[in-house]
Amino acid sequence: MFNGTELRCGSKDLLLLVRSNQLGFPRIGFVLAKKHIKLAVQRNRIKRIVRESFRLQQTKFEAYDYVVMARASAIELSDQQLRSAIDKLWFKLRPAYDNRRNTPKNRRRR
């Protein structure tokens, strides 16, 4: 999964890996290492907040698999800060989508 990533963007707390899929709809996955985020309640809080952000914005996403990796510093963020961090990552991806769509091999001939 990690070798075939087409897009990556990150912050000091979160990393987002993106890979296209053939399913026709977006999916989300998580890598929250127990080594870095020890308590299940902390891992679940991060997943809950990221899932909610994904749910609200998923109509804007293309058919990609999104993997969210949280760094140890993510547990220090409040719910609002975490939500803001993931929303910024979703926003950073938009220009990358546009660039991928407008490359010569992806343009349609008319």
pLDDT in the model for residue 99: 56
Query: Is 40 exposed, middle or buried, given 0-12, 13-18 or 19+ CB atoms closer than 10 A?
Result: exposed
Per-domain boundaries in the chain: 7-97
Helix (H, G, I), strand (E, B) or coil at 44: helix
Average pLDDT, the chain: 84
pLDDT in the model for residue 47: 94
Question: Residue 92 has which token pair?
Answer: 């950073």
Q: What is the pLDDT of residues 35-85, one digit of tens each?
A: 999 999 999 999 999 999 999 988 888 888 899 999 999 999 999 999 999
pLDDT in the model for residue 63: 85
Class of domain 7-97 (CATH, top level) = alpha beta
Asked whether the predicted pLDDT for residue 101 surpasses 60, the reply is no
Helix (H, G, I), strand (E, B) or coil at 8: strand
pLDDT in the model for residue 109: 43
Q: Rounded CA gap, 59 and 55, in Å?
A: 8
Q: Rounded CA gap, 99 and 31, in Å?
A: 27
pTM value is: 0.78
